[in-house]
Amino acid sequence: MTPALRYGHAATAAAVVFITAAAYLAHTGHWLAAAALIYTAALFTWIATREYAQHRRTVAEHDWARRQALGEQPPPLDPCCRLGRASYGAAHDHLCTDRTTRQTDDPRSAA
């Protein structure tokens, strides 16, 4: 279990609690507070989806690194790295899984 998975579960639980509270407040006639809680629940739902995506990426990167350490030649992940996605393939970071575009600016190897 990665920290992102724990945060995702916590954000999902918080969203459920906010939706339940919003339903109660709407039932009792407190519409403004209910609307604020619905907005907060939507925010926590988005946070949960991002955390679950981070968990899946972390698991995929660990599996890719394990397979490479065992001597296999696994194909690069899609996207190959976060910087590659953010720069539309123009730049890649030192953790890139695509060996043909990996940069040599690894701060750990400079020492």
Indicate whether 10 and 44 sit together in one domain.
yes
Q: Give the pLDDT of residue 104.
A: 52
DSSP class of 70: T
Indicate whether 7 and 39 sit together in one domain.
yes
Indicate whether 23 and 33 sit together in one domain.
yes
Q: Give the pLDDT of residue 102.
A: 57
Q: What is the pLDDT of residues 60-106, one digit of tens each?
A: 999 998 998 999 888 888 777 777 777 776 777 666 777 666 555 55
Domain extent at residue 55: 3-73
Indicate whether 16 and 55 sit together in one domain.
yes
Q: How far is CA 106 from the centre of its chain?
A: 23
Indicate whether 8 and 59 sit together in one domain.
yes
Indicate whether 51 and 96 sit together in one domain.
no
Judge residue 51's burial from the number of C-beta atoms within 10 Å of its C-beta, 0-12 exposed, 13-18 middle, 19 or more buried: buried
| pLDDT-wise least confident of 23-27, 40-44, 85-89 | 85-89
The answer to whether 106 and 94 have CB atoms below 8 angstroms apart is yes
Mean pLDDT of 13-27: 98
Indicate whether 82 and 99 sit together in one domain.
yes
Number of domains in the chain: 2
Indicate whether 35 and 67 sit together in one domain.
yes
In terms of pTM, does the model score above 0.85?
no
Indicate whether 62 and 94 sit together in one domain.
no
